[in-house]
Structure formats: C-alpha cells, structure tokens
Amino acid sequence: MQKKYAIFGDPVEHSLSPLIHNSAFEALGIDAKYYKIHLKDGTKLKERFFKEGLCGANITVPHKEQAFMASDYLDPFAKSVGAVNTLVLKNGALYGYNTDAPGFLRSIEKFDDIKTILILGAGGTTKASSVTLRDAEYRVTILNRSSGRLQPFIENGFECYSFDNFKVGQYDLIVNMTSAGLSDDSLPAPKELLEELLSNAKAVVDIIYGKETPFLKLAKAYNLPFSDGKEMLIQQAVLAFDLFIDGEYDLERVEAIMQNAIAS
Ligand code: NDP
C-alpha cells in the first residue's frame, strides 16, 4: 500500500518539502507520496496525523512546539531543544525528532577553515543550532536585536550580545538566523555593523530561502562564499527522509536527488 507523508504548517503554500521528498521517493522507486497540510490549530496536529493515515511528517512554523507535545517518544536532541520538525509513526506511536540543527551543521561543512561563528538572532532555530554547533567544536557567539531572548543562552554558557553592548570582532562565519528579510526588506542588524563584520568574515549564510534577502545581497558585495536557506532546507530534509525510510538509502544519493529537484 502506498505510504503517505506530509508537511504541516501555517502558512505552508510556499513549502518546497513535497517537491524534495516526492522526487526522492520517485527516484528510489518507493511507493509513497508527500503533500502539504495547512493546519491552523496546532493542537489538532496529532488527530490530523492519524486521520490522514500518515507514516511520517515534517512540521514547520508555527507548530514545532505542538509537535514536541504530540510526540509519544522524543529523541534526546529534540527533547533538549523542545521542538520537533519530524514525526515518524512506529508501532502506532509517534516518535519526534529535530533535524533542523543537524541539517544546518551539514549545510556549513562545505566552507573551509571556519572556527568562529556569529549567529544573528536568538529565536527557536538559534536555540537548537547553537548547541549543535558548539558540540561540533565551533566557537559560537550570539547577537540579537534585543536582550530579552538572550538569558537562556547566557545560562547555557554562550557569549551573547545585543546591539547595545556589541563590539565588532572577527568571526569566520556570519549567519542570519533572524526572520529579518523574510517578509520585509530589513537587515538583521545595522548596516555599518554588518559591513564591518562582513569585511572580516570568511563565509556567510542566510537561512531564509525563496528570496534574496537584503542581508545576502549586502554580503554578496564582499565576494564571500555563501549559502542561502535552501542548503539547510535540503540537509534537514535528507535527515528527515532517512528517518522516514529507516536508514535504507545512502544519504549522499538522497542528497543528490534532492539537490537536483530544487535546481531544476
Ligand atoms: P523566531 O521567531 O523564533 O525568532 C526570530 C528572531 O529574529 C528573533 O531573535 C528576533 O529578534 C529576530 N528578528 C526578527 N525580525 C528582526 C529584524 N527586523 N531585525 C533583527 N532581528 C529580527 O524564528 P525562528 O528561529 O523559528 O526562524 C528564524 C528564521 O529561520 C525564519 O526566517 C525562518 O523562516 C528561517 N528558517 C529556515 C529554515 C530552513 O530550512 N532554511 C529552517 C528553520 C527556520 P528579537 O528577539 O529582537 O525579536
């Protein structure tokens, strides 16, 4: 019987996940389909998952915390960050995982000689990624517009600044992990500050995808190696796919298929 998978979100129309996952199912000869579910009320996530007869799902904004709560079992990393972006059905129970941060880690492996990382933004994605990057032995600093969200990061031992007390230093990789530029034309930090950071950096990432953000546009003027959010999107999808099909296929092959799907 054909297996069903979906992405839950609000909004979800823009999602490239169906294209990515369906291309892998098709290329690998797996009888499965993956589709979008626009879910407004996150508390209905579990009920809808079972009603649709799904074998697995991805969860995007704003339901990752609801997915965490809907999970019967949590993988230790998802448990530590309090957010789930991948659900897998096993023996009638929902297993929750978070592939965003390991996906981000995979997405920066292509850059050479990166030791220090400055993350702009202190939201949910930074919460998960900062720990993963530190575990991978990068030195991580967090800079956020306001100080309100920084306390948990400070308690977790991260070097943290808000625009008020930040003094520009040298960071190998600058990452926009804010939503600045997603649905407006704003930069994630004052322009002069970004220009100083970029002139000392070795590479740049913006995790927003689907448009060239003002940040990426500014960064490109410095001729640095860069990637946009499509790279992270692919890498988190490769890891989610691996969970869906229980590690049956070579990840490099899955990645190549997915990269090809969004390139065409
Ligand atoms: P959150 O809503 O949890 O956090 C948003 C962060 O952005 C906060 O730190 C906030 O700062 C900051 N921010 C928002 N607007 C501005 C602005 N105009 N200037 C400066 N800072 C700003 O978001 P998430 O962590 O969930 O997501 C962050 C981004 O990552 C989103 O754009 C999302 O689309 C993208 N994303 C991409 C993925 C991919 O696969 N490519 C996966 C996951 C997320 P403050 O505290 O001051 O409000």
Together in a domain, 111 and 193: yes
> Which amino acid residue places its CA nearest to atom 15 of ligand 1?
180
SS3 state at 35: strand
pLDDT band at 177 (very low <50, low <70, confident <90, very high): very high
49 lines ligand 1 (CB under 6 A): no
Average pLDDT, rounded, for the chain? 95
188 lines ligand 1 (CB under 6 A): yes
Together in a domain, 96 and 108: no
236 lines ligand 1 (CB under 6 A): yes
208 lines ligand 1 (CB under 6 A): yes
Of 12-16, 37-41, 135-139, 157-161, the range with the lowest mean pLDDT is 12-16
Judge whether residue 168 has pLDDT over 90: yes
Together in a domain, 129 and 199: yes
147 lines ligand 1 (CB under 6 A): no
pLDDT band at 182 (very low <50, low <70, confident <90, very high): confident
pLDDT of residue 218: 96
Judge whether residue 4 has pLDDT over 90: yes
Together in a domain, 109 and 219: yes
Question: Residues with catalytic annotation?
Answer: 64
Together in a domain, 111 and 215: yes
Give Cα separations from 90 to 55, 87, 200, 227 (angstroms).
Answer: 8, 10, 48, 35
Q: What spacing in Å lies between the alpha carbon of 208 and ligand 1's midpoint?
A: 9
**pTM check: above 0.85:** yes
Determine the residue of 66, 125, 193, 230 to mutate for testing ligand 1's pocket, defined as the one with the most ligand atoms within 8 A of the Cβ atom: 125
Which residue range forms the structural domain that includes residue 134?
102-227
Together in a domain, 122 and 180: yes
pLDDT of residue 210: 83
Q: Which atom of ligand 1 is nearest to the CA of 229?
A: 41
Which of left, alpha, beta for 227 (phi over 0: left; psi -120 to 50: alpha)? beta
12 neighbors 36 (Cβ within 8 angstroms)? yes
SS3 state at 244: helix
Helical axes 17-27 vs 251-263, angle rounded to 10°: 120
99 lines ligand 1 (CB under 6 A): no
Together in a domain, 183 and 236: no
- Strand ordering across the sheet containing 86-90: 32-38, 3-9, 56-59, 86-90, 93-97, 73-74
Judge whether residue 211 has pLDDT over 90: no
Together in a domain, 125 and 67: no
High-pLDDT (> 70) share of the chain, % = 100
pLDDT of residue 58: 98
pLDDT of residue 61: 86
Together in a domain, 41 and 96: yes
pLDDT band at 55 (very low <50, low <70, confident <90, very high): very high
Q: Which atom of ligand 1 is nearest to the CA of 121?
A: 9
What is the CATH classification number for the domain harbouring 250? 3.40.50.10860
Together in a domain, 183 and 217: yes
Judge whether residue 68 has pLDDT over 80: yes
What is the CATH classification number for the domain harbouring 114? 3.40.50.720
